[in-house]
Copies of this chain bind each other. A is one copy, B any other.
Amino acid sequence: MNQNKTVKKIDFDSIVEVVRVFAPATVANMICGFDILGFAVDYPGDEVIMHRVATPGVRIRSIAGDDGRLPLDADKNTVSACVQMLLEHLGVSTEVGVEIELIKHMPIGSGLGSSSASTVAGLFAINSLLGNPLTKEELLPFCVEGERLACGHGHADNVAPALMGGITLIRGQHPLDVIKLPVPEELYAGIVFPKVDVPTRDARQLIKEKVFLRDAVTQWGNIAGLIAGLYESDYGLISRSMHDVLIEPTRAILIPEFYTMKQIALDAGALSFGISGSGPSVVAISRGKETAENAANRIQQHLTDCEIDSFKYVSPVNIDGPKVI
């Protein structure tokens, strides 16, 4: 019934020949909000160029920027698998054919929502190609499913901000309840990715199943303070609130020089510093671009001194999510 209803929306004559979509990287957790908060950044992000072709089906034409790590087989690649899933949902999988060029602008396994950015770019692209039969809200469950295919963990903490833009709150998972939070104008992220491997699965497995209630109370006091701080654009409150007493102590073990980097960021004037998603990327959340730049530069310099290679990104919070470019 759902399929029939949606198929009607698609005007086959108006399907465009090609779209090029950019979808942003994301910082899940936003320091204190494990599994519920996340924000998108303007840079980096992934691109999908999607071509309409005569032969029905979904194929990967090329992947760039992945060092050959991602499968070109359309059944195994998350992006194409999601696009296929959406075409089936819309009831047009036997009629529509597309080929995908995927251009990755960020490293895989960096803790910046790499797979989410690609999935969101792919789904946003096919939706655009078909004349936007689905709203962003309707696309979201498909993005979550893509995350499940990619990470074995169907979570929205990266795909929600990547798709919706801005800062998102996942109030609940079942059913999915995502709320867009206000973005204080001067909020910047200074991100540094130390080139070490921290697979998401390992980072999750380190986390203990049970926590002290008193620590949970500290954590949710901070989460509540952060939400209020975002609504009030109160940078002092935002800074006081962005502390993670539960997850960071465990995950920081996997990240070289974590506590030194933290001190460097805070000394440089960052509002807060912590792990982006499951790491190893770290983020200095700052008021103003200059502070974010400064923090990121000093952190990168320290890593260089320690002979650890790194990438650095400085960006405001991305407001709009994916876009056709």
Contacts and interface: CB of A to CB of B under 8 A. Distances in A.
A154 to B, nearest CB: 14
A217 B246 CA distance: 11
A237 B179 contact: yes
A112 B293 CA distance: 50
Nearest to A218: B172
A223 B220 contact: yes
A219 B227 CA distance: 15
B224 A223 contact: yes
A216 B209 contact: no
A192 to B, nearest CB: 27
A211 interface: yes
Interface in A202-227: 207-214, 216-225, 227
Nearest to A214: B209
A207 B212 CA distance: 11
A313 interface: no
A211 to B, nearest CB: 5
A169 B227 CA distance: 11
Oligomer copy total: 2
Contacts of A177: 225, 240
Interface string A263-292: 000000000000000000000000000000
24 contacts: A35-B221, A36-B224, A169-B221, A169-B224, A170-B221, A171-B224, A171-B228, A171-B240, A171-B241, A172-B218, A172-B222, A172-B225, A177-B225, A179-B237, A207-B213, A208-B213, A209-B214, A210-B210, A211-B216, A216-B220, A216-B246, A220-B223, A224-B224, A224-B227
Interface of A: 33-37, 169-173, 177, 179, 181, 207-214, 216-225, 227-228, 231, 237, 240-241, 246
Given A171-B225, A210-B211, 16 more contacts: A36-B221, A169-B221, A171-B240, A171-B241, A177-B240, A208-B213, A210-B210, A210-B212, A216-B216, A216-B219, A220-B223, A223-B223, A224-B227, A227-B227, A227-B228, A228-B231
